Amino acid sequence: MKKCGSIAFADIDGDNDQDVLITGLNNLGQYIAKQYRNITCVSTISAITISSCTTYTVPSGDETYSTTGSYTVSDTVPNYCGEDSIITIQLTIVPRYSQTEAVIVCNGDNYTFPDGDLITNITSQLIDTSYLQTMTFGCDSIIITTVTLATTYNQMETVIICRGDNYTFPDGDIATNIISQLTDTTNFLTNSVGCDSVIVTTITITPTYNQSDTVSVCNGDNYTFPDGDTITNITSQLTDTSHLQTMGPGCDSIIIITINVISIDNSVIQNETTLTANLFGANYQWLNCNDNNTELSGEIGQAFTADTSGNYAVMLTLNGCVDTSICTEISILGILENDFGISLTVYPNPTSGYLNIDLGKIYNDVNVKVQNIAGKTVLNKEVGTTNQFDVEILGSTGTYLVNIKTTSGESATIRVLKK
């Protein structure tokens, strides 16, 4: 079959360019017509706005952006007919969030987490993870929330005050002129999240004292009063008033102390060689004044009888007080030792200083020696052959021992009191 056709040129699409129209028969003898438009290919310029989560790669694949922020990007790609196409991109990289937060609630409170989940009656610490889209572009974020319970108080306290005082409770309430124990319950907000606390306060009244006491002291003793004042050498009754704070809050008390003095009668009655203490019902201890007030063993009665001359006193104890009498001299007078027989006489005794001594008969080489109570010799005299002689005692008043001796061996000792 013979193929035939025609070609015509015309502005078919109205773009002021000549288009081509081809007509003819194909191999099957069918009539066909094809139109070819004349298209001019040029470079193009365009602008787009892009928001991306985390990263973005430009159309050409040349650059990738992953840092959060906003960018102006110029990218070049071929267009449909192979010419360059320049694209200006206004790019924003939107961040994704992964953060933690801490929340404090009161015991038993509810809490709504960022993803809308609600937990009720929270009584212990808990941790919740919220997944949510935080931006309009739909970028996922994670928020981990830790919920902690705020500290609240439920406590008891005891306060001690003085009678009649005022007291301000933790919530600011004031109780005035408190004279008996009372209890108050305070409810108040103790922390920044407004959790209630309870404090139960018990007020206790401190007693104050207004009392009198009587104490006894020994004559001449000292005494320290409750307020710390000290009185020394007390010899008569006295009364002192102490003003003092007896308890921690500083409540004043008054204590009146009367001091009675225990006086001991330390007088002694002498009847010859017996001494008797006037005080009845005491404890007694007799002393030897000539031996530095040495206690006389076994001599603890109210009366004491001396068997040797000397000075004696008594120590008296009554109701814890001790006093001692003055020393009293006892002289046991007369002949203590005698080899001269019953005819020996010594007179007067006591004496004012002179003694007359009669031996009863004549003796040869008579010697006389006089010593005081301390053993000191005040006279040592040879009187020769005689049966009678006088002796003058020189010295102060007191007890003396007169010793008489002969060469034939006779001797005598006489205790004499010089007044």
- Topology, domain 334-418: Immunoglobulin-like (2.60.40)
Q: Is residue 205 within 8 Å of residue 177, measured between CB atoms? A: no
Phi, psi dihedrals of residue 239, rounded to the nearest 5°: -130, 135
The answer to pTM > 0.75 is no
* The pLDDT of residue 51: 73
Q: Would the pLDDT of 335 be above 80?
A: yes
pLDDT digits (tens, 9 = 90+) for 239-277: 988 877 655 566 777 888 999 999 899 999 998 789 999
pLDDT digits (tens, 9 = 90+) for 203-231: 888 766 678 889 999 988 999 988 888 99
* The pLDDT of residue 1: 46
Give the three-state DSSP class for 30: coil
* Segments making up each domain of the chain, as ranges: 5-36, 44-94, 98-149, 154-206, 210-262, 268-330, 334-418
For β-strands 274-277 and 230-234, DSSP reports them as unpaired
Torsion sign over Cα 49, 53, 57, 63? positive
Q: Is residue 367 within 8 Å of residue 405, measured between CB atoms? A: yes
Distances (CA, A) of 252 to 97, 159, 203, 246, 247: 69, 18, 18, 7, 8
How much of the chain exceeds pLDDT 70, in percent? 80
Pull the structure tokens for residue 233: 């050498």
pLDDT digits (tens, 9 = 90+) for 292-316: 999 999 999 999 999 887 899 999 9
Average pLDDT score over residue span 13-22:
55
